Chains A and B, each alone.
Chain A
Amino acid sequence: MGNRATIVLDKSEVDEIEEETGFTPSQIARLYNRFTALDKSGSGSLSRADFLRIPELAINPLGDRIVHSFFKGCPDDQVNFRQFIKVLSIFRPARRNHDPVKNTWQNKLKFAFQMYDLDEDNKVSVDEILTVLQMMVGVNIPDDQLQSIAERTLQENDKDRDGFITLEEFLTAMETSDVDNRLSLRFLS
């Protein structure tokens, strides 16, 4: 099941995915439809080029980072459907009463944290903040101004003064923002 390319889904696999991600079978069907639509080569898995063929994604300043987040831990640089839907399940709206599976508040914020954590060492340095800033504003702001913004951001959020923002510090910083609304997509059921 792991990384084998999936061409069709059988019922047992759909049940597994439902349990793992919390999507309903019809939602899984729609997402599978989307997955195959993106898979132009028909190989059963997506490459980075397949993602970046979506024009709106290609022009998003953080597009490359977001695409990269799908590929963590995938061999051969290919994303199969299980991996694809696992990442997407983080963006299901979290409901209070339900058992959250993947879409917890923490998981959503962890995804946002990974945007900053370029070298994947679970901490964010001032250089990483600077790089992300450069991605977002391009050449419109001079580098020295960006450097001071990055340093200020680090200082504001680095509570234990070790020069890095850890995941816990990041979560604390984001407590005030309305994460559930901002990192959720309303899937048609």
Chain B
Amino acid sequence: MLTTAASILVAIVKYYAIFESSVAFFIILEGILNIHLGIRSTYIKCLLKVFKFGNNRVEVKRPVIELTQKPERVWNAMAAEEKVLEDDEVYHKPLEVELKYKTTPPSDFKLQNVLPLIQTAMKDIVEDEVTKAFDAEGLPYWNMLTRTNKGYQYISFRLSVIWFAGWWFRHFILFPVRFMIAIAGQILLVLSAMLCSRLPAGKVKTAISRYATKVTFRILARALSLHATYHDRKNMAKRDGICVANHTSPIDVIVLSCDNVYAFVGQQGSGLFGFIQKEIAKAFSHIWFERAESKDRGAVVARMKDHVKDPNKPTILIFPEGACVNNTSVLMFKKGGFELDSPVYPVAIRYNPVFGDAFWGAQPTMQAHIWSMLTSWAIVCDVWYLPVMNKLPGEDAASFANRTRLEIAKRGGMVDIDWDPRFYSDDKNVEVSRWRLKQQQILSETMVQRKTNATPETFPETDTLVKNAPPDPDVRNTPIGRV
């Protein structure tokens, strides 16, 4: 009895393993040969239908939950929207140093002068633009991932069944396939790099290494069920200059590399990742920095300049925000990449959060992030290639960076926020004191009549105070894929 049960179990496991591996192999083959079977688009359309069904069920159920007066029925307030204040109350750009109730000309200090500061502070406590950029984006409807199920603990039996089926599907059918493909992709990446580095330098080597890179990234993309739509490919970088894009997750690299070959810039890591970095740098011309070197901005820029001069080397890809943002906004760009006197090709990447949140902020470590992506439904995104931009005569790098940023934000339908995202993760108070000094300076000018003409010595250096364009009220967060 036991042996028959055991043998049935073994048979099930065997067929399961065969099924999973063959699916994986098939998808890898599809990647190598670059066939588009349209499987992924059909899959995504089906998913949308299921989500909508789930949403209808939830909407019907919600009034019932609220009307039930039983005390043990918890009313989880997280189901509500993120907005707290009326629109025009909120919409002033952060760090707006002009106070709302500034009196012109400077008049004598009165006790009332604290009131505007209190007002803006309380407003910022209740709702501020910068924090919203770093929280995971809210969804129009529930996509049956537990991690986004904030408000609905028990809705209906039917929905729970569908949710459980989805969970099982994602973890036991999708995940093993994806995991195998990911491993295969990485092995292929290293192998192809090793092979290509052996080839003699020349046109053949470049051509083969470009082809090999594209193929391996395509395979890695399939490991994530990545479905990217590329718009305006005519604007794509050919082989020169720099490509800049907004940053949401390390996946951005895969998304962009499927369509074009780039040279990466980054810090040399250690362990397995560092080994991969070293190997692929031998075959393709990536720029990796040692940790100490990366602090020296001048050295970084010099190396990038050398790279850009060489016409055989591919376009450099950089993410000027310097940190992962939640894809609803585009934060301040660091100006380093804009000092190189070469054309800049901006790219806007916008993920559709319904299928899986690509934002790396919601999970604490890289492994957790990868796990959550490998078990989500899919990664769906739009990529817009914007027309090339050049530095205007007389424009400095910081303004050029800002101009590019605004274009990217507008094209991707994201809100632009002129705040340095590193501040958020940095505990040092350098940025705070610099901005606070600026605030104090403005206050001193408006509040107090200066008796002396002494200018303060400790005036903050303003190279990071980028001049903002006036706020464009049409730039709003419009989630794509609103089908």
Contact = CB atoms under 8 A, between A and B. Distances in A.
Interface in A96-133: 111-112, 115-116, 132-133
B74 A8 contact: yes
Contacts of A36: 78
Contacts of A53: 131, 424
Give the size category of B's interface with A: 35 or more
A54 B101 CA distance: 22
B120 A56 contact: yes
B124 A56 contact: yes
Interface stretch (B32-40, B104-112, B219-227, B231-239): B104-112
A32 to B, nearest CB: 4
B75 A10 contact: yes
Given A54-B125, A56-B95, A132-B114, A140 B441 contact: yes
B439 A153 contact: no
B86 A186 contact: yes
Nearest to A34: B84
Contacts, number: 194
Contact of A140 (B83, B130, B444): B444
A155 to B, nearest CB: 12
A137 B448 contact: yes
A159 to B, nearest CB: 13
A48 to B, nearest CB: 12
A94 interface: no
B112 A31 contact: no
A173 to B, nearest CB: 6
A185 B123 contact: yes
A188 B118 contact: no
B115 A112 contact: yes
Nearest to B72: A10
Interface residues of A, number: 63
A149 B115 contact: no
A55 B423 contact: yes
A57 B435 CA distance: 11
A124 to B, nearest CB: 9
Interface in B27-56: none
Contact of B122 (A9, A26, A37, A66): A66
B443 interface: yes
A183 B74 CA distance: 34
Nearest to A184: B119
A59 interface: yes
B126 A31 contact: yes
A11 B130 contact: no
Contacts of A30: 80-84
B183 interface: no
Contacts of B113: 136
Nearest to B130: A55
A82 B435 CA distance: 32
Contacts of B456: 139-140
Contacts of B86: 186-188
B85 A187 contact: yes
Given A141-B444, A145-B451, A183-B115, A66 B121 contact: yes
A34 B83 CA distance: 9
Nearest to B117: A62
A71 interface: no
A162 B125 CA distance: 37
A138 B444 contact: yes
Nearest to A115: B114
Contacts of B128: 54-57
Nearest to A63: B121
A76 B49 CA distance: 50
Given A139-B456, A149-B448, 13 more contacts: A9-B77, A11-B71, A32-B80, A55-B94, A55-B424, A62-B114, A112-B118, A141-B450, A145-B450, A173-B111, A182-B116, A183-B118, A185-B122
23 contacts: A33-B78, A34-B127, A38-B131, A54-B124, A55-B128, A56-B94, A56-B95, A56-B128, A59-B432, A59-B439, A60-B124, A63-B121, A112-B114, A112-B118, A137-B440, A137-B448, A139-B458, A140-B441, A142-B454, A145-B450, A149-B109, A185-B119, A188-B84
Interface of B: 69, 71, 73-86, 89, 94-95, 101, 108-128, 130-131, 135, 419, 423-424, 432, 435-437, 439-441, 443-445, 447-448, 450-452, 454, 456, 458
